[in-house]
Amino acid sequence: MRATLCLWSLPFLTTRAFHITSRLTGLLRHISYTAPLSSPRTSTMADVRYLGQSESAALDDELMGPCGFCLEQLMELAGLSVAQAVQDLSQQSSMQIVVLCGPGNNGGDGLVAARHLFHFGHDVTVVYPKVGKKEWYSSLVTQLKESNIPVEESLPSSLASADVIIDALFGFSFSGAVRPPYDAILGELRRIQTSSGQPKKPTIVAVDAPSGWDVEKGPQGNGDAVIPDVLVSLTAPKKCAEHFYGRHYLGGRFVPSSIQRKYRLELPAYPGASQCVELSTGKKGA
């Protein structure tokens, strides 16, 4: 469907063997994915800056400090952005969606996205092995359960037959090895991706940073990485997104102009009332 964009990556296939494999995997899965595009958010060229881990953390601190935002507010806006990006992937009125949520803020974004996707008319299941320590996470779970949205601790048997799997396990602050139970979850995602006996595979959507990736360097070939079909960056893309070659959305239509200037973000214009915008896969910012 977007093979032309993916072919931009071919001149760079002299890098490490793992990156060769991941790029070709992204290309093949991109070609095989045939869900129709919806019109409100089309591909947009933008020289957007890609932020490192420490810079991303500093930006968040400023949003929740001098800029007057609270964590719950940012999480709600981020989750809505993710939900709108997923909605943009297909014109299906109802999709089977499984949202995999980790214990931190990235998982909170996934919980919010799940609620919005349910209200958009989709069949949503949430996998949330460990509830985050902050009271807000319990409130998000309560909101889901009050709408009869299933919240499970383990993977459903129907995972491989889902239309969309949202990876909201780990965000830009994650580092180190992936530990149980999340290592088994990522292992199952890799198994689904590489299974040859499954004609239609779920579209995997990563939130802000694909789980198992180094936030600065991208996939490292250590067996933990999942190569998503779609990435939804939040506020600004992280440096790991420079190694991603699928469909790339940016969400977070709330960044004050003072922050945009300070961090030289060069954010693209959001069309209409959209909370996300699709970025093309060509030019990248410094």
Annotated binding site: 105-109, 167, 171-177, 182, 208, 211
The annotation places the binding site for K(+) at 106, 167, 211
Instruction: Give dist(CA 66, CA 64) in Å, integer.
Output: 7
The annotation places the binding site for (6S)-NADPHX at 105-109, 171-177, 182, 208
- Is residue 266 a contact partner of residue 48, using CB atoms and an 8 Å limit? yes
Instruction: Give dist(CA 171, CA 1) in Å, integer.
Output: 28
Q: What is the 3-state secondary structure (H, E, C) of 135-191?
A: HHHHHHHHHHHHCCCCEECCCCCCHHHCCEEEEECCCCCCCCCCCCCHHHHHHHHHH
Q: What is residue 255's three-state secondary structure?
A: coil
* 206, β-bridge pairs: 167, 231
Closest by CA to 53, choosing from 236, 260, 199, 243, is 236
Distance from chain centroid for Cα 178: 18
Q: Which residues contact 106 (CB under 8 A, 6 or more apart)?
A: 168, 169, 170, 171, 174, 207, 208, 209
Mode of pairing for the β-strands spanning 151-152 and 247-251: unpaired
